[in-house]
Structure 1
Amino acid sequence: MKTVQLQKKSGEAWQYLSNHIELIQPLVLVLGNRFLLESDSVYKELRDFFPHGHLVFGSSCGELVGSSVNDDHITVTAIELERSSFQIQTYNINDANGDSEIAGRAVVQKLNPKGLKYIFVLSEGSFVNGSALTKGMQESLPKVLITGGLCGDDSRFEKTIVSYNEAPKEGEIVVIGFYGDTLEVSFSIYGGWTPFGPERLVTKAEGNVLYEIDGRPALDLYKTYLGDKANELPGSALIYPLNVKNQENKQSFVRTILNIDEEKNAMILAGDVPNNSTVQLMMTNMDSIAAASETAAIRAMEGRSQPPQLALLISCIGRKLVLDQRIEEEIEEVRSVIGDDVVIGGMYSYGEIAPFYGERSCKLHNQTMTITLISE
């Protein structure tokens, strides 16, 4: 595997973060600030850098690269596989009339299933139902490992953009299928958030819209907990997600509030919250977040036969807000476990896609560090 990384900060020229080597038809992951990706010149500039590259774009809430976290940047990780291969397919959720499960099923079915070992997904994150998306993908390919994330737009929540070999646009879902007998992929997720307060019953929810908890309007109850921070919604909700328990999942999962509907007194979440599940507020601190990233890295390294060459990291914007000035500690903890020779690329997202630890079927997560380690 050969890799090249470069970055561009707002108002500055492109800068190589690694040795400049020529790559043959590489996979080029282009992650960055949404406003910068919307520039008319970005696609042409990167096509000039990688004339035969497969360019995959995704807007982020910040990028993880090397041992750093970038804001107001575009960060590029170009990958040339030497013993493996990849295939890229896309689908726009608008073609499924907004049905995320149909979109998830349709996009992975476009991949050649023969020899398919792993799928990395970058999805629009503004209005997709991540739970339904992952359900559709995994039901179509139940034996294939799937990880990735929902693209972001910092804490603006205005729109997210994704694309393959064209200028980034809204509504796109991109899947990258990896093939090869020697390809080895391992993963893990970990959060570091702690539930607090009473468990309450979800009495009315439809998909990823939460209307009532304990028979009361969900938004009213949530605002009561937030106090003065309620005036900062939906941004303040990133620091106080919900821990969800239901009978269908052996492990509890976390849901972030992406937006609010004042008229309906409801909260729009990154994924489903089933009726009759229980929810509890969660909180964390900087030390717990950093320690969780280390745990995720340790678990991702378990059982590997070969050292990883590439680490794809998807972490949640809520973790970024908590860490604030200590943001790079999260990536430093991962680096300390996987080693200095591993190329790191990734982003802060609106949702992370991976199986639970010890399982194989992918789910949508929030507030986790998701690590995928790849070697060939």
Structure 2
Amino acid sequence: MRIVQASKLENQPWKFLQENIVLNNPLVLVFANRFLLEDKDVLADIRKQFPYEHLVFGSTAGEIMCCHVNDNSIVVTAIEFEKSSFEVVTENILNFDKKAEPLGEALYAKITKTNLKHLFVLSEGSFVNGSSLIEGIEKNLLNAVAITGGMCGDDARFLKTLASYKDNPKEGEVVLIGFYGESLEITFGNFGGWIPFGPERKITNSNANILFEIDGQPALNLYKNYLGDKANQLPQASLFYPLNVTPEGKTEPVVRTILSINDDNNSMVLAGDVPVNSRVQLMMASVDGIAAGAQHATEIAMKNRKSPPQIALLVSCIGRKLVMNQRVEEEIEQVQEIIGKQTAITGFYSYGEMAPFNSQTACELHNQTMTLTLISE
């Protein structure tokens, strides 16, 4: 595996982390601020610097490269696989009446299944139901192939996100990357570090990712009562106080943040499903707790690896970034401390993270979580 990485802050020259060598048919991951991905001159510059075929674009709520977290920037990682291969397919949610499950089925139907080792998802992040997208991809999944990835971001604006493969970035796009080959070793991990507080309640009325009632009370009213003065800052305020949701019949909780609210019917739209009869609690976090969560996620990903990772794809949540503020790079430093400085690091801050729980292969949508995908060949 050969890797070339570069970053560019707004109105500054490109900064390459390695020698800018010519690669053979690489996978090029471009994570950038949404406004930059809407600028045709910026896109032309990216294609000039990386004149390759397989460019994957995604908008972010913060860009990760090495141990740095940038805003209003572009980070590019070009990966040449020497012993293995990849394939990229796309679909657009706007062609599926904004229904994510059939889109997921269509994506998986398009991808080659022979020798498939791992799937990585880069999804539209503002209105795709991530839980349904995962269900669609996994519906006909063969051989317990694991899925990781994330939902694109738009800083804290929550207006629109962009993604694409080869084409210029567009709304509604969902990208699926398949990795192939016996030589590949791909491991993953995730952890949050948030702490539940307050009484545990029950979801009594919901529809997929729309939450209507908790304990028979209007969900939005109850949530606003908890937030107090911060209620007028919704939905951004929810990033500091997400929900800890444990679906009926499951032991592992998932974290859910609020994408939007509806004052007319007192409902909340969350980034993933919140089934009826799920147990639910509010959560809060400290900077130290979040950094420790990133450390634990990395320990999970590194457990039982046979070889050191050559590249780490990090997808962390915008809520973690907002809580950590100027200390946000501490969670990336925790990752590097464990995987080692020889491993290339890239990634982004997202509106939702995808990864199985430890020791499992079934993927879950997470919020407020650090997820890692570690790859070597």
Aligned 8 A contact 1:34 1:160 in 2: yes
Aligned to 2:190: 189
Does the aligned pair in 2 maintain the 1:43–1:166 contact within 8 Å? Answer: no
Determine the C-alpha separation between the residues in 1 that align with 2:54 and 2:370: 26
The residue matched to 2:280 in structure 1 has which SS? strand
| Corresponding letter in the other structure for 2:173 | E
Correspondence 1:192-203 to 2 at 5 A: 192-203=193-204
Matches of 1:286 and 1:46, distance apart in 2: 34
1:56 counterpart letter in structure 2: V
Where do 1:37-76 residues align within 5 Å?
Answer: 37-76=37-76
Q: Which residue does 1:179 correspond to in 2?
A: 180
Tell me which residue corresponds to 2:101.
101
Checking the alignment, whether the CA contact within 8 Å between 2:4 and 2:19 is kept in structure 1 is yes
Contact 1:104 / 1:133 at 8 angstroms: preserved in 2?
A: yes
Q: Corresponding residue for 2:345?
A: 344
- Distance in 2, matches of 1:43 and 1:322, equals 31
Partner SS for 2:139: helix
SS in 1 for 2:293: helix
CA distance in 2 between partners of 1:126 and 1:249 (Å): 27
Q: CA deviation at 1:291?
A: 0.6
Matched with 2:14 is 14
Matches within 5 A, 1:33-182: 33-142=33-142, 143-182=144-183
- Report the count of equivalent residues: 376
Question: 2:7–2:65: 8 Å Cα contact kept in structure 1?
Answer: no
Q: Is the 8 A contact 1:218 1:265 kept in 2?
A: yes
Q: CA deviation at 1:140?
A: 2.2
Contact 1:135 1:363 in 2 (8 A): no
8 Å CA contact 2:248, 2:277 repeated in 1:
no
Deviation at 1:52, TM superposition (A): 2.6
Q: How far 1:9 moved relative to its partner?
A: 1.4
Deviations 1:152-190 (A, max 9, x none): 011100000000001100000001101011100000100
Q: Name 1:314's counterpart in structure 2.
A: 315
Q: Which amino acid aligns with 1:133?
A: L
Q: Which 5+ residue runs of structure 2 have no aligned equivalent?
A: none
**Which letter does structure 2 place at the counterpart of 1:16?**
F
**SS of alignment partner, residue 259 of structure 2:** strand
Per-residue deviation, 1:46 = 2.1
Contact 2:191 2:369 in 1 (8 A): yes
Distance across 1 between alignment mates of 2:2 and 2:199:
51
- TM-score, normalising length: structure 2: 0.98
2:299 paired residue number: 298
Distance 1:260 1:183 in 2: 43
Q: How many angstroms apart in 2 are the aligned matches of 1:39 and 1:116?
A: 35
Tell me the equivalent position of 1:223. Answer: 224
User: Helix, strand or coil for the counterpart of 1:140?
Assistant: coil
> Following superposition, which runs of at least 4 residues in structure 1 exceed 3 angstroms of deviation?
none
TM-score by structure 1 length?
0.98
Give deviations 1:301-338, integer Å, cap 9, x for gaps.
Answer: 11111111000000011110111111110000000000
Give me the whole-angstrom Cα distance separating, in 2, the residues matched to 1:115 and 1:45: 35
Question: What is the deviation of 1:296?
Answer: 0.8
Aligned 8 A contact 1:60 1:151 in 2: yes
Q: Check whether the contact 1:354–1:370 (CA below 8 A) recurs between aligned residues.
A: yes
1:28-58 Cα offsets, whole Å, 9 max, x none, are 1000110011101233222222223311000
Distance in 2 separating the partners of 1:42 and 1:121:
24
What do residues 285-305 of structure 1 show as CA deviations (whole Å, max 9, x unaligned)?
000100111111111111111
1:183 partner amino acid = L
Q: Percent of aligned positions with the same letter in both sequences?
A: 56
Q: The residue matched to 1:296 in structure 2 has which SS? A: helix
Q: Name whichever of 182-191 and 13-22 sits farther off.
A: 13-22
Report the residue type matching 1:296 in the other structure.
Answer: A
CA distance in 2 between partners of 1:248 and 1:72 (Å): 42
Could you tell me whether the CA contact under 8 Å between 2:187 and 2:301 is conserved in 1? Answer: yes
C-alpha RMSD of the superposition:
1.0
Query: Which residue number corresponds to residue 273 of structure 1?
Result: 274
- Equivalent residue for 1:356? 357
